[in-house]
A and B are shown apart, each in its own frame.
Chain A
Amino acid sequence: METTKTEVESADFENTHVEDAVEVPPSEDRVPRDHRETIGQLRVSDPRISCTDVNVYYGDKQAIYNVSLDLGKNEILAMIGPSGCGKSTFLRCLNRMNDTIDGCRVTGTINMDGLDINSKEIDVVPLRANVGMVFQKPNPFPKSIYENIAFGPRIHGLAKHKDELDEIVETSLKRAGLWNEVKDRLEQPGTGLSGGQQQRLCIARTIAVEPEVILMDEPCSALDPISTATVEDLMMELKEHYTIAIVTHSMQQAARVSQRTAYFHLGYLIEVGETGQIFRDPRHQLTEDYITGRFG
């Protein structure tokens, strides 16, 4: 595998299985539907996480095939694709959450800060503190709202005093756009919130430990437009310092927030590219089918 990824083009050239990616077909005749190798700009000049040949198996069943993809610094990467195509599965590789699933196996290398975070030697505790995740299904702890947010900072020792912890809880809730709704009932159970509120609570919980990479699995699926806008503003703000990968079923959202978009199909990463280009001028027939609503 290549080690220097300073130049997008050279990286692509050295990577045998993405050679096709260089021959960009004219926008009129797309890459045919049965073509499975990733096309597009899957490497970036300044990667935060760099995945190479990632395969995921649930028992005997393969869920992800040979995915190679970079997450750039200060970038929001959107992942789109039909339901069941493996977006969540891929996302969960990036902070080793697949470890928790019995019989799930991940191969390939996922490089972050010069380390292969997919190797057995990696300690997942600091990794997950640094690569935070908002899960697809809101999963607040059955404890108070306050405890939900405070748990992460507390176990990592991020707050010296109660005041600091209070401060973290408040700012996290504010940034997730939930503060006004819950400030008077921080002691009530987080599970008593509405679906959308729980989703924002989980976002607040994730950002409370200030991870440098944030993985968001459909964070706005249950949110109204105003809350969605708050979360999107938050992502824009976080992007200034951090890296974000977001799975979304909303094409508009992907278009609004992301710099690059990756399209998954049945476990294959079909196409990656600059978001504007993907939506304006997809190179792969499957991508076009999907974004024009012709899928299925």
Chain B
Amino acid sequence: MNTPTSTGAPRRRTIDIVNAGLKKRRRAERRFRLYGMTAISMGLLFLLTLFGSIISKGYTAFWQHYMLIDVTLTPADIAPDGSRDPQVLAKANYMGLVKASLREMFPEVTGRRDKRRLYKLVSSGAASEVRKRVLEDPALIGKTVGFWVPTDDEVDLLLKGRVNTQLPESQRRVKDNVVAWVETLKQQGRIQKRFNTIFFTHGDSRNPEQAGILGAVSGSFLTLLVTLLLAFPIGVAAAVYLEEFAPRNWFTDLIEVNINNLAAVPSIVFGLLGLAVFLNFFHLPRSAPLVGGLVLTLMTLPTIIIASRAALKSVPPSIKEAALGVGASPMQAIYYHVLPLAMPGMLTGTIIGMAQALGESAPLLMIGMVAFIVDVPHGVFDPATVLPVQIYLWADSPERAFVERTSAAIIVLLAFLVTMNLLAVILRRRFERRW
């Protein structure tokens, strides 16, 4: 095979040439692998640092300390006229009862300042907890009942060991007598650590121990629902039209350039657009998930369209040809054969778009989704906020207990992101298995 040709000098055999260069090739390969591994390790390191710091800061927010107080439900204080009318019962001064029970526990406390500190052992939500129970069961009136109520955020932090008691008293908010009371309560078994259900079942609040993520989660869910319902069908339809039906001319080229441009427009611009169009022109309600969803639809559409077009392009044309060849109309060929093949790519694009939308806050600030909203939204017209905005709001709050709640909210956000991406993988597998 590699015998010397009759004319020229004896040729070197191919195998010799290959062997000579082999070392260099191997080295290049190893070097490339090393680069890749370095890059991935760096990425992992950053990720671990991020997760580590967030989780170590935030995991304590999933617990909340509760305190047992014995409240004497004196009829004279609740309903002097003996009425059991819920409206009368609801108006009673339960805070006074709670305070009385605290005074009873620590009778030695005198002086206004110390008393105020004593009352601040429990959350201001304690009174509403008592009211709720009384309204549920008016028969309790006249008895002394034990209530487990959330402790104040500062006390909670103290119990979680997040207060440095070594510092001089003047430099910390939790004073020495409070530390002593808490110690006593602990010895009496009146302190309990519980799972922080409030965090998952309440809306926002000015009091950290009363603040929950549910409002923001629900707002995010409604907003993303609107986004998904609008962006996915519109994006897929636009991509199918552009890729399969539109004639190739300067006009479609222009559209393509503009879509690519839109994908790079800063998201705040979409917020301004939403403000001008949806709020000022169409007079849609402020802070509503509907408007947030519309704005995020504008923002994610380019991503979805670009990803969907790429997915459609990657379907071998022979498949469509085969369908057309047996007499399918273009729509049938696309619907039965091209779309199913492009679907995994389209879903990936959509999920990426949705994940972006989930993490987006800037455009939503413009349309008022940054308001302080206590009620959990139940519809797309209710005022709401979203997870990233909630994180922003809490990060901005002065109370120290919001620090761990901020991190906890980030953990929740990350959990949603992971779930979404997992869902994308599962959906993709599902679609792929069918062929």
Contact = CB atoms under 8 A, between A and B. Distances in A.
Contact of B327 (A137, A156, A202): A156
Contacts of B326: 128-129, 132, 151-152, 155, 205-206, 208-209
B253 interface: no
A208 B327 CA distance: 12
Given A102-B248, A151-B336, A141 B322 contact: yes
Contacts of A143: 434-435
Given A141-B322, A151-B326, A152-B327, A100 B317 contact: yes
A95 interface: yes
Contacts of A135: 318, 321-322, 325
A276 to B, nearest CB: 32
Nearest to A190: B435
A7 B312 CA distance: 50
A133 B323 CA distance: 11
B341 interface: yes
Nearest to B320: A100
Contacts of A141: 319, 322-323, 337
A132 B326 CA distance: 6
Interface string A92-103: 000101001010
Contacts of A156: 327
Name the residue among B317, B327, B328, B332 with the largest chain A CB count within 10 angstroms: B327
Interface string B332-365: 1000110001000000000000000000000000
A27 interface: no
A143 B329 CA distance: 19
A133 B324 CA distance: 10
Contacts of A129: 326-327
Contacts of A102: 248
Q: At the interface, is chain B mostly helix, strand, loop or mixed?
A: helix
A142 B343 CA distance: 14
Contacts of B329: 125
Contact of B325 (A95, A130, A155, A189): A95
A211 to B, nearest CB: 8
Contacts of A25: none
Contacts of B341: 142
B313 to A, nearest CB: 13
A139 B322 contact: yes
B326 to A, nearest CB: 4
A140 interface: yes
A227 interface: no
A97 B327 contact: no
Interface string A117-147: 0000000111111101101010111110000
Nearest to B316: A139
A141 B323 CA distance: 8
A107 interface: no
A221 interface: no
Contact of B318 (A128, A137, A152, A209): A137
A191 B328 CA distance: 20
A205 B332 CA distance: 16
Interface in A21-74: none
Contacts of B435: 142-143, 189, 191
B80 to A, nearest CB: 79
A125 B322 contact: no
Nearest to A149: B326
B332 to A, nearest CB: 5
Nearest to B328: A155
Interface in A80-125: 95, 97, 100, 102, 124-125
- How many interface residues does chain A have, given as a range? 20 to 34
Name the residue among B322, B434, B435 with the largest chain A CB count within 10 angstroms: B322
Contacts of B316: 139
Contacts of B322: 135, 139-141, 202, 205
A215 to B, nearest CB: 9
A137 B322 CA distance: 10
Nearest to B337: A141
B318 A139 contact: yes
A38 B337 CA distance: 41
Nearest to A192: B435
A151 B323 contact: yes
A128 B328 CA distance: 8
Nearest to A130: B327
Nearest to A140: B322
A47 to B, nearest CB: 22
Given A137-B318, A141-B319, A126 B327 contact: yes
Interface string A256-280: 0000000000000000000000000
A212 to B, nearest CB: 12
A135 B318 CA distance: 9
Nearest to A215: B325
A206 B336 contact: no
Interface in B62-76: none
A140 B320 CA distance: 10
A189 B323 CA distance: 16
Name the residue among A102, A135, A139, A152 with the largest chain B CB count within 10 angstroms: A139
A130 B325 CA distance: 10
Given A135-B318, A139-B318, A139-B319, 6 more contacts: A97-B321, A130-B327, A139-B316, A142-B319, A152-B327, A189-B435
26 contacts: A97-B324, A100-B317, A124-B324, A125-B328, A128-B324, A128-B326, A129-B327, A132-B325, A132-B326, A132-B327, A133-B325, A139-B316, A139-B319, A141-B319, A141-B322, A142-B319, A142-B341, A142-B435, A143-B435, A152-B326, A155-B326, A155-B336, A156-B327, A202-B322, A206-B326, A209-B327
Interface of B: 248, 316-329, 332, 336-337, 341, 434-435
- What 7 A-B pairs are tightest by C-beta distance, nearest first? A129-B327, A152-B326, A139-B318, A142-B435, A128-B327, A139-B322, A133-B325
Interface of A: 95, 97, 100, 102, 124-130, 132-133, 135, 137, 139-143, 151-152, 155-156, 189, 191, 202, 205-206, 208-209
